[in-house]
Each structure stands twice: as C-alpha cells, then as structure tokens.
Amino acid sequence: MTGLQYGKTLAVHPTPIPGVVLFDLPVHGDNRGWFKENWQREKMAAAGLPDFGPVQNNISFNESAGTTRGIHAEPWDKFISVATGRVFGAWVDLREGPSFGSVFTAVLDASTAIFIPRGVGNAFQTLDNGTAYSYLVNAHWSPAAQYTFLNLADETVNIPWPIPLADAELSDKDLTHPRLAGVSPMQDRKTLVLGANGQLGRALRARYDADPRVEFATRTELDLAGPDPFRDTDFSGYHTVINAAAYTSVDAAETPAGRAAAWAVNVSAVVGLARKCTEHQITLVHVSSDYVFDGTVEIHDEDEPFSPLGVYGQSKAAGDAVAATVPRHYVVRTSWVIGEGNNFVATMAKLAAAGVQPGVVNDQFGRLTFTEDLAAGIEHLLATRPAYGSYNLSNAGPVQSWADIAADVYELLGHPRSHITGVPAADYFAGKQTAPRPEHSTFNLKKIESTGYVLPPAREQLRIRLLGFTTEL
C-alpha cells in the first residue's frame, strides 16, 4: 500500500462543508501487514464524531485504478474509509441551505476516514488497482429512498479529478446526472409535533406554523390512545418529535376508564414512540409534569427521584422513564400550564366578570407556566442542543399559591383581591372524588438558565395576558 503512514494519532479535521469531518486513523504495521480500528464508537464519539448509530456496512471493490463513482447524496449518514488501496474522494453539499454547492476533496487511504452527513454528495476515484472502499450507514437501504445526484463533470463545482474523466471508468448512469443548476437540493428531515390542538400544541403551532419543516398531528390525525398508534407513520423523514400530547384529566384518571386511558396515552404510546425515535436516530422532546413528585420537597431538581401520588402522576413518571431511554432526548418538566383554552386563569377571569367571590386553595404552591414561554424554551433546547436529559421549565418569579394567583387575576381585572378566600386543600376537596395533588410544585430553573434561556416572571406574563402592558404588580 503505497505511502500508507503508520502510527498516526486519532485526530479530527474540520472541512469547508458543515458536518463533514475528516479523521486520521491509527494504523499499526510491520513486515506482515497492518491493523487498525476502523470504527471504535467510544473513541470516535469522544473525538467529535456524532454517535450516528450505524446499522449497515457496505464495501465497494474496484478492480482498476481510475474507477470513478458518484456524485450521490443519500438520505442517511455515512462513515467512509478505505480497506485497501487509495481513493481521491470528492464531496459536494447538496443540502438545502447556504452551503449548497460547497466542495471538499481529499485522498483517503487506510489511515484516513471521513464522516458524511445525510444530503452531502459522495464521489470517489480509485488511485490503485484492487481498491476496496467501505462505508457504514445509519439506515437500511430501501428502494423507496430519495437520492440527489450531481454530474461528475459539473463545471461549477469543478472537481480536480486526478485521472481525467475521459480516461476514467464510469457508469452510463453517472454520466447522465444533472449539473448543479439543475439539482433540486435535498430537503432536511422535519419536526413532528404531537398533540397539536392542546394548549402547548397550539403555542408550538403559533411558533412554528410558518416553518415548512415542521408538521403537526392532532388527536384526530394520530390518536395515541389506539392499540398501535404509530403503525402507519413513516418516521424516516423526521429528525425531531415533540410530544406535547398527554392524558391530563387528573381526577378522571382515578376511575377505571380514566386509568386505562392515562396509561394508554402517557405510557404505552410513549413506549412505541421511544422505539421509533431510537430506531430512526430522532431527537425526542417529551413534556412532563410536576405530578411525578409527591410535593414534599419544596423546590424540585431534575434528578429528584419519582414519587407520584395518583394515577396521572404515576403514568407521567412511567412515561418519563421510557422517554429517557431514547439516546437523544429532552424530558421537559413543567407545571401549572396556562395557554389558549380552558385553564385556571381563564376560569378565574370568568368568575371575576360574573361577580363570583370564590374560595381557592391556599396551601399548594408553585409557579405558572405560560405556553408561549414553554414553546420558546423547547425551541431554545432544539436550537442550542445542550446535553440530553431532563430540564425543568416554568416561568420564574416568586412562589405563589393558587389563591395568590387568583387574587392577582382579580386585581388585574379591576376587582378587589379580598374577593378571593383562601381555603386549605383538605377542605376544598372534602367530599369530592379527586386525585391527590402535590403540595409543592416549584422547580429549580438553574439548569435551563445555564443553557442561556431565562424565563420571565409568571406575574409579569399574567399581566401581559390580562392587560396587555408590562407594569409591575
């Protein structure tokens, strides 16, 4: 193997094409031949290679120097290396975006390898007889897969082939591919939002509705309570799923029918979703609840052990545990959600308008979470990609009881705070068939704030919602 360099240190070299990474591989040789670790997940992930989950290994053997193949962009990621011989490799970004048409070339031998993301065109020309070109891919080949092609002789990218194409061995098919001006860029995979008609789903729709790369599924379109809800859903076209769907009828979950429905949506469906996300290397954003805790701890950290009190909380805790098995996951834990539709603030506003002076629970404590801020926090996590795991996400500000918040609503709408009477939960729920509720639902927000997302105070957002201006209470 002419010119093969032994004893390199595993090293990473960035390239002009975003996501394309060139590697130096350690090769150990003597008079008998050579040995290398062609793919070593732990070491290469530590060196900066995405943990892209390869599922198939392909080898192209080429009899003669000058064999030229490409330029093909495929809908999966590839880790490319050479088993024997040398190739001149050429890669062209054929993805939609500002780097479309960018080019990188390099000579690969057994001591080098390269990672090529989905949508980057791959081509090579053998420089030695008997060259074997190997690549790992993270999706199984399918006849339905959509490819993007570019002509090897395209004048715009102007690849400097060592052996002129007129003297090279080419396939007739590769000669017919379009020039760059005629190439339709490969579209990025999309985001799927589940539960698009819920309070959070509507906020996510408002945030992403103008983005053609985001799709929305309502319960009518994808009913998570069904026996196999994802049977007919093709997940290969998605890179992210936001699960904003949940069974949230806390009290009804304590009934036989409600218990079955809660577990179907909050657990069984999440099992199927986690399986699909793992299989397709999808990032799963799963929205959770303060009800996974019993509320005896006043401020909840992300690593607090589960201690749910009722069926709803138990089903959400089980769903969290399942979602956390997905390699790329964000469990977003929130509380006291206020969005478009029926919620505590809307109820208090209606009572105030009707002149009602209600009793409201005064010994359960937490902070409101407005759906627009929750949706923005999810967008922030997906844009900045901090470490995968659980993140608490609620609005900031002082801890309040439900009675405190009700009094704020009344005051902001021009009614006396004294129209709200604080009532202990034990008295408020006496004689009613209700689920147990956590006493304390306040989250520690330091982890999400450390990523650069600081949520506004809940009382400020309440004022904006009710009055349309931001003067402090």
Length, in residues, of the chain: 473
For residues 78 and 116, is the Cβ–Cβ distance under 8 A? yes
At 396 the pLDDT is 97
The four Cα atoms 418, 469, 347, 222 give a dihedral, to 10 degrees, of -160
Q: Which of 19-23, 32-36, 123-127 has the lowest mean pLDDT?
A: 32-36
Q: Which of 141-145, 146-150, 404-408, 422-426 has the lowest mean pLDDT?
A: 141-145
Task: Report how far residue 472's alpha carbon sits from residue 422's, in angstroms, rounded to the nearest whole number.
Answer: 23
Is pLDDT larger for residue 219 or for residue 151?
151
Q: What is the pLDDT of residues 232-278, one digit of tens each?
A: 898 988 999 999 999 999 999 999 999 999 999 999 999 999 999 99
For residues 229 and 223, is the Cβ–Cβ distance under 8 A? yes
At 51 the pLDDT is 82
Task: Report how far residue 150's alpha carbon sits from residue 16's, in angstroms, rounded to the nearest whole number.
Answer: 19
Q: What is the pLDDT of residues 343-357, one digit of tens each?
A: 999 999 999 999 999
Beta strand pairing call for 442-443 and 299-300: parallel
Phi-psi region of 435 (alpha: psi -120 to 50; beta: other; left: phi over 0): beta
At 3 the pLDDT is 66
Q: What is the pLDDT of residues 44-101, one digit of tens each?
A: 889 888 888 898 999 999 999 999 999 999 999 999 999 999 999 999 999 999 999 9
For residues 95 and 101, is the Cβ–Cβ distance under 8 A? no
Greatest Cα pair distance in the chain: 94
**Is 239 among the residues known to form the active site?**
no
Helices (H) and strands (E) in the chain, counts: 12, 27
Give the pair of three-digit tokens for residue 59: 């080898």
Mean pLDDT, range 158-167, rounded to an integer:
96
What is the average pLDDT score of the chain?
93
At 469 the pLDDT is 34
**Is 135 among the residues known to form the active site?**
yes
Q: Which of 3-12, 160-169, 320-329, 384-393 has the lowest mean pLDDT?
A: 3-12
Q: What is the pLDDT of residues 183-235, one digit of tens each?
A: 999 988 999 999 999 999 999 999 998 899 999 999 888 889 988 899 889 89
Single-letter residue type at 4: L
Nearest Cα residue to 195 out of 232, 231, 233, 223? 223
Q: How far is CA 180 from the centre of its chain?
A: 31
At 470 the pLDDT is 35
Q: How far is CA 304 from the centre of its chain?
A: 23
Task: Report how far residue 25's alpha carbon sits from residue 80's, in angstroms, rounded to the nearest whole number.
Answer: 12
Peptide bond into 71 cis (omega under 30): yes
Q: Which of 53-57, 124-128, 269-273, 317-321 has the lowest mean pLDDT?
A: 53-57
Task: Report how far residue 7's alpha carbon sits from residue 28's, in angstroms, rounded to the nearest whole number.
Answer: 6
Rg (CA), the chain: 28
190-194 β-sheet, strand order = 214-217, 190-194, 238-243, 283-289, 329-334, 389-392
Q: Hey, which bits of 250-361 come out as E strands?
A: 283-289, 299-300, 329-334, 337-338, 359-361
At 52 the pLDDT is 87
Query: Which SS3 state, helix, strand or coil, does residue 105 take?
Result: strand
Domains of the chain, CATH where assigned: 11-182 (2.60.120.10), 190-467 (3.40.50.720)
Beta strand pairing call for 112-116 and 21-24: antiparallel
Give the pair of three-digit tokens for residue 163: 């052996």
Residue 442: exposure state from Cβ atoms within 10 A (0-12, 13-18, ≥19): buried
Task: Report how far residue 213's alpha carbon sits from residue 209's, in angstroms, rounded to the nearest whole number.
Answer: 9
Catalytic residue among 72, 380, 388, 419: 72
Task: Report how far residue 36's alpha carbon sits from residue 113's, in angstroms, rounded to the nearest whole number.
Answer: 12
Give the pair of three-digit tokens for residue 11: 């090293």
Q: For residue 308, how many C-alpha atoms fall within 13 Å in the half-sphere facing its CB?
A: 19
For residues 208 and 199, is the Cβ–Cβ distance under 8 A? no
Catalytic residue among 133, 135, 247, 410: 135
Stated pTM of the model: 0.84
